[in-house]
A = this chain, B = another copy of it.
Amino acid sequence: MVTVNENYLKLPGNYLFSTIAKKVNEYASNNPDANIIRLGIGDVTEPIIPSVIEALHKAVDEMAVKETFRGYAPDLGYDFLRNAISENDYKSRGCDINPDEIFVSDGAKSDCSNIQEIFGADSKIAVCDPVYPVYVDSNVMAGRTGTYNPDTTMWSNVIYMPCTSDNNFTPELPKETPDLIYLCYPNNPTGTGISKENLQKWVDYALKVGAIILYDAAYEAYITDATMPHSIYECEGALDCAIEFRSFSKNAGFTGMRLGFTVIPKRLKASGEAVHPLWARRHGTKYNGAPYIVQRAGEAVYSESGKAEIKAQVAKYMSNATYLRNELIAAGYEVYGGVNAPYIWMKTPDGLGSWEFFDLLLKTANVVGTPGVGFGPSGENYFRLTAFGTYENSVEAIKRIKNL
């Protein structure tokens, strides 16, 4: 008799953003006249830049003609894209990452959820708290996280590294030794950046204890501080202890286009075994490449015009971030993030629970944000707003929040 994966049944409730979508849809259908402003899920609102649109049309035309039609893509991505990534994201910053260490995929979410699969079943993971839920949930599904305590909303076999205003949202090195350390900078959800010096400490620590850092750099385009690292490979020794995830979703608005990549240095080993061939094998067996037209779209992001256009788009979102941040501070809120990241991380007013504030904001102001506690217990009494809305909506949201 066939059975299900019992680990799936341990997962409490739904995926955070699915829950929010459901709540919002319910409210919207009961209040069809409500003008809801969505600053919850980190989805972008600006259209795809002209250079990418042009590349897409061109690639679509290629697919229409026998001579230029493309079938299955190379397992790990087209060379034209891997070369552009290596050159622009790594070599230009002094990081020794070659094209064949880059695995093109349909997005950072797929990669950072699937990556755990190539490591031992008894690997112990460490995560920041609060954290992007995908890191933990994917390990729950794999049976690595022990038992769930509904009171603390924590798993018995996960090392949580609290990030609150008490430690400036900077996790301390864990007391218990992890095997896999998930780090995300600029951070989702707290909007915190990391200095090169602090990141180097993590690299040194990982090398010392034999752990691998799974580094999510999906928001690197939002760094405004010139001294902050955009890649973990800017740190010495990272080639021996780190995997990096990148996305085109936030720098180039590809949330609906689906493109990302993962870097695994060829010299990276886990207990003596090279990691690169394992991920290559996973790609070859369980994935069939990103669409040709989307890979061409990705290439266009690195063209001279593309770079200028995405820079302008990122600046637009960052001006929202600055606006939201300054106005909320002026209104008396305790506010973090929004300087090197498109996320505002605010303390809820009057000690309200995260979900209480979510409901209040949805029902009273028709503004959707993300409850901090949805990212982990240390996110309780915090709330995330994104800068990915339009400027007009950001202004309107602030107006409504001030009137709460």
Binding site for B on A (CB under 8 A): 1-6, 8-9, 11, 14-15, 17-18, 41, 43-48, 50, 53, 56-57, 60-61, 63-66, 69-73, 75, 106-107, 109-110, 113-114, 117-123, 133-134, 137-138, 141, 143, 179-180, 209-212, 253, 255-258, 270-271, 273, 275, 278, 281-282, 284-294, 390
Cα–Cα, bound, A21→B18 (Å): 41
Q: Which of A6, A120, A179, A180 has the most CB of B within 10 A?
A: A120
The reply to whether A3 and B120 contact each other, CB–CB distance below 8 Å, is: yes
| Chain B neighbourhood of A271, CB < 8 A | 1-4
Cα–Cα, bound, A138→B286 (Å): 7
The contact of A113 among B211, B255, B286, by CB within 8 Å, is B286
Q: 20 additional contacts, CB 8 Å, given A3-B119, A121-B143?
A: A1-B211, A2-B123, A2-B270, A6-B120, A18-B75, A46-B66, A53-B60, A56-B63, A69-B256, A70-B256, A72-B256, A109-B286, A110-B287, A114-B286, A141-B286, A256-B289, A257-B291, A258-B290, A293-B293, A294-B294
- 9 A/B residue pairs, CB under 8 Å, sorted by A: A1-B209, A2-B212, A5-B119, A41-B72, A45-B66, A45-B71, A63-B256, A110-B287, A141-B285
A137 to chain B, nearest CB (A): 5
The chain B residue with its CB closest to the CB of A17 is: B284
The contact of A123 among B3, B50, B257, B270, by CB within 8 Å, is B3
A391 to chain B, nearest CB (A): 12
Cα–Cα, bound, A273→B290 (Å): 33
Question: Quick one: given A56-B60, A57-B60, A284-B15, are A69 and B48 in contact (CB under 8 Å)?
Answer: yes
The reply to whether B119 and A2 contact each other, CB–CB distance below 8 Å, is: yes
Q: Which of A2, A107, A123, A289 has the most CB of B within 10 A?
A: A2
Question: Quick one: given A2-B119, A47-B65, are A287 and B109 in contact (CB under 8 Å)?
Answer: yes
A109 to chain B, nearest CB (A): 5
Question: Quick one: given A4-B120, A110-B286, A286-B138, are A255 and B72 in contact (CB under 8 Å)?
Answer: yes
Question: Quick one: given A110-B286, A291-B257, are A64 and B50 in contact (CB under 8 Å)?
Answer: yes
Q: Which of A106, A121, A255, A288 has the most CB of B within 10 A?
A: A288
Cα–Cα, bound, A47→B383 (Å): 49
The contact of A1 among B4, B179, B287, by CB within 8 Å, is B179
A120 to chain B, nearest CB (A): 3
The chain B residue with its CB closest to the CB of A254 is: B291
The reply to whether B45 and A2 contact each other, CB–CB distance below 8 Å, is: no
The reply to whether B56 and A118 contact each other, CB–CB distance below 8 Å, is: no
A162 to chain B, nearest CB (A): 23
The reply to whether A110 and B288 contact each other, CB–CB distance below 8 Å, is: yes
Cα–Cα, bound, A1→B208 (Å): 10
Question: Quick one: given A48-B64, A64-B53, A107-B288, are A141 and B282 in contact (CB under 8 Å)?
Answer: yes
| Chain B neighbourhood of A60, CB < 8 A | 53, 56-57, 60
The chain B residue with its CB closest to the CB of A7 is: B121
The reply to whether B256 and A291 contact each other, CB–CB distance below 8 Å, is: yes
| Chain B neighbourhood of A48, CB < 8 A | 63-64, 69
| Chain B neighbourhood of A284, CB < 8 A | 14-15, 17-18
The chain B residue with its CB closest to the CB of A70 is: B256
Question: Quick one: given A71-B255, A285-B134, are A9 and B273 in contact (CB under 8 Å)?
Answer: yes
The chain B residue with its CB closest to the CB of A43 is: B71
| Chain B neighbourhood of A180, CB < 8 A | 2
| Chain B neighbourhood of A275, CB < 8 A | 4
The reply to whether A5 and B117 contact each other, CB–CB distance below 8 Å, is: yes
| Chain B neighbourhood of A293, CB < 8 A | 56, 257, 293
Question: Quick one: given A57-B60, A71-B45, are A179 and B256 in contact (CB under 8 Å)?
Answer: no
